Amino acid sequence: CSYIPPCARDDQENSENVTYKQKYWKEKVGSQPFTCYFNQHLRPDDVMLKRTHDETVLLHCFLWPLVTFLLGVLIVALTACARSLAARAEAIQRKKHS
């Protein structure tokens, strides 16, 4: 497992990124084992050293659209109930006047 920092347009920035990663590997990782993240089936050559998102991001990606959908369903249901009650009240009023 190895890591190549993304290339930038500026040579100075590329040089700084490479130097930073070399220093990081020597000081932090060294010869210690480490976890490497990659997709063996789709893109086996692409490797991530650190996860960019954790479980909370996944939770938010599913939670808020679900809450929005449920609120929409609730609004539609309440509208249908209000129409039904209005129709019943109108029918009762007609019976009273007849």
Domain boundaries, the chain: 11-48, 53-97
Instruction: Write out pLDDT tens, residues 50-98.
Output: 666 778 888 889 999 999 999 999 999 999 999 999 999 999 998 888 7
- Cα–Cα separations (whole angstroms), residue 7 to 46, 75, 80, 83: 14, 49, 57, 61
Closest CA to 83 of 95, 75, 94, 71: 75
Type of residue at 69: F
Contact of 38 with 49, CB cutoff 8 Å: no
Whole-angstrom Cα distance, residue 52 to residue 64? Answer: 20
Instruction: Write out pLDDT tens, residues 9-61.
Output: 888 888 888 888 788 878 877 777 766 666 666 766 666 656 667 788 888 89
